[in-house]
Amino acid sequence: MDTSKLFSLQGRTALVTGGSRGIGRMIAAGFVAQGAKVYISSRKADACDETAAELGPNCIALPQDISTVEGARNLAARYGEVEDRLDILVNNAGAAWGVPFEEFPEHGWDKVMDLNVKSPFFLTQALHPALKAAGSAARPAKVINITSIDGLRLNPWDTYSYHASKSALIYLTKRLAARLIRDHINVTSIAPGAFASEMNRAARDHGDEVAKGIPAKRIGEAEDMAGTAIFLASRAGDYIVGDTIVCDGGLVNAALGTSIDA
């Protein structure tokens, strides 16, 4: 058994949404380091261009707002103008909204559900021909949805639509996997825990305090997220289908509950 190229992404093409910062950037950087040609997309063109310049010539900016079905289809069309196949799609773009239950607004619900659930479905649908062109029984194409541990457990904040959206995306991952496997496209998801990002400002701004509640006693680092994504995207992850890998330092699966004595 030759494992020297097991995690290589040499010659592969990838598209990472929300790739200009946070978890998307971590994944894009990891893919580039493993030899992939990576397109990153976000709604802010300047941030997209800046990140692409920092990650080098194998990272190309493809800015687009995908919060609507039209936007998702526009991104797929723009990608199709430069590439005729897609080996790896990472659906990472997302939003959160936290407001007390009594005040939670409809637009906060819709924004989160649209970007976190609707957009991954319709972008995958729009890119299906390119993914299908890349996939084979020997080397399947990959769709990796970035979900969250908040789709598996509760956090203490009033993020009702975020909880619902990430739980929905975990289950949508399974349903898409069941359909797309016939086209040699493997669909999986990663459920991150505490990683420093604009969306997770607690981890970003108070990492030492957040780490106290995590069994591993630290927040996630870029290498943790990149490594998980590289595993799923590479030959090493070719037999993983429909599953969600939790990358959280043990918070979901290795944290003990509390007991109240009677």
Active site (catalytic) residues:
162
Q: How far apart are CA 147 and CA 169, in angstroms?
A: 6
Residue 250 CA, distance from chain mean position: 19
CB atoms within 10 A of CB 55: 20
Residue 223 CA to residue 25 CA, distance in Å, equals: 11
| Distance, CA of 41 to CA of 90 (rounded, Å) | 10
Torsion of CA 39, 44, 48, 54, to 10 degrees: -160
Q: What are phi and psi of 90, to 5 degrees?
A: -110, 110
Beta strands in 133-243 (DSSP E): 141-146, 185-192
For Cα atoms 13, 15, 18, give the angle at the middle one, nearest 5 degrees: 155
Contacts of 99 by beta carbon, 8 Å cutoff, 6+ apart: 105, 108, 158
Give the CA distances from residue 51 to residues 27, 41, 240, in Å, rounded to whole numbers and listed in that order: 12, 10, 30
- Alpha helical stretches, state H, 34-117: 45-55, 69-82, 106-113
